[in-house]
Amino acid sequence: MRLLEHLGENLRQAAVPIHRDGWPFIAGGLVAAVLLGLLFAPLFWLGLLVTGWMAYFFRDPPRVTPEGDDLVVSPADGVIQAIAARRPPPELGLGEAPRTCISVFLNIFDVHVNRAPVGGRITRLAYHPGKFLNAAQDKASEDNERQSFRIETPTGDVYGFVQIAGLIARRIVCAVRQGDVVAAGQRVGLIRFGSRCDVYLPDGCAPLVAVGQRAIAGETVFADGRRNQPPRGWRRS
């Protein structure tokens, strides 16, 4: 009996939760698999394979966010594609001056649930329709469909966070509203299916990551808002 309880607990810990927005896709995939199987049996297994990929794509694993009121964490799983001075989207009202922007590119195999990069109040939330260019391109930050967040921390710092649709991403899901107070690492939405996330840092806030590094949403520390950390170098081993 104790062995079965231990096995059940291990299975519960190993099971990865599915984001609620994924269930309609999974259910639709199962229905399609059954219908296709009635027409031609091998198509059932193909439909089942696609359904399994849907469940994998919409996985929503728990994350442990480092403690620290001033820490800035990655909003997404993926590879840090660029760290550069870039003018924030105009809808955020952050001015014309370039800010340090950290860009994370998500491929179709990454977890696509996005998390708040920093704790604070969402003082502006703006949707901007646009194109669906490859999210890896620099101009995707300006031309693509996006959802922008302006977050003000209790210490008065202002951050920009932008969800950007990609070549095959056709839907940005936002799970918060303007005026909400969020904690760093809190779920704020997702993007289907390939995409990019940009984080705009305040002046004097140095990045603690480097281009090419893999980031984990809610866990990888992007920067320290206390501004007492120098930029880190990067070396491949």
| Catalytic residue positions, numbered | 195
What is the Cα 192 distance to its own chain's centre?
A: 10
HEC states along 66-119?
CCCCCEEECCCCEEEEEEEEECCCHHHCCCCCCEEEEEEEECCCCCCEEECCCC
